A and B are shown apart, each in its own frame.
Chain A
Amino acid sequence: MTSISPADPSVPVLSPVDGRWSGQAEHDSLAARNCRLTPGEWLTVKVRRSEVPAGGDVYQAFQVPYQKWMRVLDALNWIAENAAADLAFRWFCGSKMCGTCAVRMNGREVLACWEAVEPNMVIEPLRNLPVIRDLVVDRSRYEDKVASLEPWIERREPYGEFPEPLTHKQMKDASKALDCISCMCCYSACPVIGLGNLTDFAGPAPLVQLGQTALDPRNDPEKVRRSLALTGIFDCVSCYKCEEVCPAHIPIVSRVIEPLKAKAAQLVPEMARHSFALRGIVARRGRVDPGELILRVQGLRALGNLRRILRLFARGKINPIKTILGIKTGAAEAAMRLLGNRAGRP
């Protein structure tokens, strides 16, 4: 077989397709969604109900006439006024501020007051919180967690001067967290929270609430340490599901969770064992040796996975000799220079 060179004139070159946005153009904008509907058109809205009549479906279907600029909330209000007066849902401000109207529309967390309707919608309550009725969830699990994290500022020293000097740079992450409207979209979207009590991960919404004060340089480090120790923050899988659904567009992972992890690494270093181990290995050897990483993070606990270790060894996926000898890679010199010869601690 011959390889085709890009300069080969026999091959007509099509205009390139942008691979990283493939699928986005057709239907991935709110404007595109709205444009597909004309006033008077019927929407099919299936709402998950709590009280299901005998033989009925947990999803009750409604036909709703589309009006220009219709939001999910308008559709729910139309249903309550015209078809199901007993439908339970929450809303207050109707303008993306109070955070009470979040629901799942076609499997995605949205604010009902800010999301354009779609021709076919399945509306469900948020996940990961108990349902009180229909679309109304019990937020107390979240509120209790936030309260336990003591999300306020404590001062040991008196104010140095007034107004207290505080730079934009010092507040850049906390200010992002302060945009939170407590709508719980992220809490519903988080896959780790979705696993129930498997870990003690606090979840994105409580961490954002904590970030408002824990990332404030005026806060007492001892108090921040106490709060961070209760977060299980290193169980965040960095999937960015929370960021994807945040109606306030808070970069939750990069501007809240990661800065909080950095604080935890300073104040509660035992929580960041995995991070320090990885850093130490990269600094010494240039690249990650998976065997050494597991041994450093898990210690003797790693032997509990002896069967997998043997499987990996049999397929040549791990190399114990390299691990034991700590063989350096071609990147070791540069990594050592840029990260420093420290035992992983920043």
Chain B
Amino acid sequence: MRFAYYPGCSARSTCAELNDATHLVASRLGLDLVQLESASCTGARELRAIDPAGFYALNVRILALAESHGLPLMTICNTCTLNVLDAHAAFVSDPELAASVNARLAEENLHYSGRTRISHFLWVLHEDIGEQRLRQQVVNPLAGLTVAAFYGCHITRPPGRYGFVDSRNNRALERLAEILGCLPIEYSGRTECCGFHTAAHDERVAIKLTGQHVLAAKAGGATAMVTPCPLCHTVLDSFQPEMEKDIDQKLDMPVLHLPQLVGLALGLSPEQLKIDRHMVPADVLDSYAATASPGLK
């Protein structure tokens, strides 16, 4: 199974551990990833608002790069996923836009035909690997590990893209956690917003919003949180000391990238998965790692 792989900016900088973990886990799962080295940023939320033409050009170029390899595209960031999905939808519904973007891509001999399949790593696990294959690969079931799934926004909303009448009904992460042996918990923050997209100019929103989500996860009995989005991870993990100060309460909530949780169940060690690169120590997970003595589990 081969995918053109688009890591995005975050997994190449603040969340480099996500990129490393994705490559390791993919290789265990038999996924062959062709990393798109020359792919640019998808423009986050900023470019699509102030420069739609630039937004379409950069995103369609990523789709065209995947097409040039003849491969479907795999992403690991919610916002990047929605950006390429939105650009693809605009491209296939507006021939004028499609022609103008392709004219600009022709300068580097790229062309998009509108046929690249776009899939986030979470969906690849469900759709391409499949439950049965995944269960067979779980050599270290994370028995009893209570995890709070944090979806973030752009993998489950807008409704016009994903079709959920109520995004709270999304169960993709919980189902996956169960396959890995975990006990997913219920809490109010599952499909709420982390506030990342305004954090560069006013981080108070992110701290206030996400503090409540982490608190709810803790109250719900979570040992760790898991998210499919590095932007959510940055807020959940890096801003936790500020959240603790804001609510005057310790949180100490380790936050895992999705491939890290999968990797632990596949028998990879926390060191291999670079879980020690997070701001909130995740020592509590050591007892669930494959190298731990069975008595500790």
Q: Give chain A's interface residues, CB within 8 Å of chain B.
A: 1, 3-6, 11-14, 16-24, 26-30, 107-108, 191-192, 195, 198-199, 234-241, 243-244, 249, 251, 253-254, 257-258, 261-262, 265, 272-279, 282, 286-290, 293-294, 297-298, 305, 307-308, 311-312, 315-319, 329-331, 333-335, 337-339, 346
Shortest beta-carbon contacts, A-B, top 7: A19-B126, A23-B171, A239-B193, A19-B123, A240-B157, A331-B40, A22-B172
Q: With A16-B128, A278-B44, A346-B50 known to touch, is A3 a contact of B29 (CB < 8 Å)?
A: yes
Q: With A1-B139, A11-B136 known to touch, is A237 a contact of B197 (CB < 8 Å)?
A: yes
> Residue B16 at the A interface, CB < 8 A?
yes
Binds A, one of B54-62, B66-74, B219-227: B54-62
Bound CA–CA A234/B200 (angstroms): 11
Bound CA–CA A241/B168 (angstroms): 11
Interface of B is mostly: helix
Q: With A234-B198, A338-B54 known to touch, is A11 a contact of B132 (CB < 8 Å)?
A: yes
Q: With A288-B9, A346-B50 known to touch, is A1 a contact of B163 (CB < 8 Å)?
A: no
Contact B14 A298 (CB under 8 A): no
Q: How far is the CB of A239 from chain B (nearest CB, A)?
A: 4
Q: Looking at the complex, which one of A238, A312, A317 makes contact with B197 (CB distance below 8 Å)?
A: A238
Contacts of A308 in B (CB 8 A): 238-239, 241-242
Q: Looking at the complex, which one of B43, B159, B198, B277 makes contact with A237 (CB distance below 8 Å)?
A: B198
- Chain B interface category by residue count: 35 or more
Contacts of A262 in B (CB 8 A): 49-50, 52
Contacts of A346 in B (CB 8 A): 50-51, 54
Q: With A23-B170, A195-B209 known to touch, is A288 a contact of B241 (CB < 8 Å)?
A: no
Q: How far is the CB of A124 from chain B (nearest CB, A)?
A: 14
Q: Which of A17, A23, A192, A276 has the most B CB atoms < 10 Å from its CB? A: A23
Contacts of A317 in B (CB 8 A): 13-16, 238, 277, 279
Contact A13 B130 (CB under 8 A): yes
Contact A22 B170 (CB under 8 A): yes
Contact A241 B193 (CB under 8 A): yes
Contact B13 A14 (CB under 8 A): no
Q: With A191-B192, A244-B158, A254-B86 known to touch, is A339 a contact of B279 (CB < 8 Å)?
A: no
Q: Which of B28, B168, B200, B238 has the most A CB atoms < 10 Å from its CB? A: B200
Bound CA–CA A46/B198 (angstroms): 37
Contact B160 A251 (CB under 8 A): yes
Q: With A24-B170, A191-B192, A237-B193 known to touch, is A275 a contact of B139 (CB < 8 Å)?
A: no
Contacts of A278 in B (CB 8 A): 41, 43-44, 46-47, 200
Contacts of B54 in A (CB 8 A): 279, 338-339, 346
Contacts of A312 in B (CB 8 A): 14, 238, 279
Q: How far is the CB of B46 from chain A (nearest CB, A)?
A: 4
Contacts of A329 in B (CB 8 A): 12, 40
Contacts of B16 in A (CB 8 A): 316-317
CB nearest neighbor in A for B121? A19
Q: How far is the CB of A98 from chain B (nearest CB, A)?
A: 23
Which B residues from 138 to 163 make CB contacts under 8 A with A?
A: 139, 153-155, 157-160, 162-163
A-B contact count (CB 8 A): 264
Contact A19 B131 (CB under 8 A): no
A sample of 12 more A-B contacts (CB under 8 A), given A240-B154, A312-B238, is A3-B29, A18-B123, A22-B126, A22-B171, A23-B172, A28-B165, A195-B208, A237-B193, A274-B200, A276-B50, A290-B13, A337-B104
Q: Give chain B's interface residues, CB within 8 Å of chain A.
A: 1, 9-10, 12-16, 27-30, 37-41, 43-52, 54, 57-58, 61, 86, 104, 107-108, 120, 122-128, 130-133, 136-137, 139, 153-155, 157-160, 162-172, 175, 192-193, 195-198, 200-205, 208-209, 238-239, 241-242, 266-267, 277-279
CB nearest neighbor in A for B108? A334
Q: List 24 A-B contacts (CB under 8 A).
A: A1-B139, A3-B27, A5-B30, A6-B30, A16-B126, A24-B163, A107-B168, A191-B192, A192-B198, A195-B208, A234-B201, A237-B209, A240-B153, A241-B157, A254-B86, A261-B49, A262-B49, A275-B49, A278-B41, A278-B44, A278-B47, A286-B40, A286-B41, A288-B10
Contacts of B196 in A (CB 8 A): 237
Contact A261 B58 (CB under 8 A): no
Contact A1 B40 (CB under 8 A): no
Q: Looking at the complex, which one of B126, B205, B208 makes contact with A235 (CB distance below 8 Å)?
A: B205
Q: With A24-B169, A199-B205, A279-B47 known to touch, is A297 a contact of B200 (CB < 8 Å)?
A: yes
Bound CA–CA A14/B131 (angstroms): 8
Contacts of A331 in B (CB 8 A): 37-41
Bound CA–CA A192/B202 (angstroms): 12
Contacts of A287 in B (CB 8 A): 9, 12-13, 40-41
Q: With A11-B136, A18-B126, A315-B278 known to touch, is A293 a contact of B200 (CB < 8 Å)?
A: yes
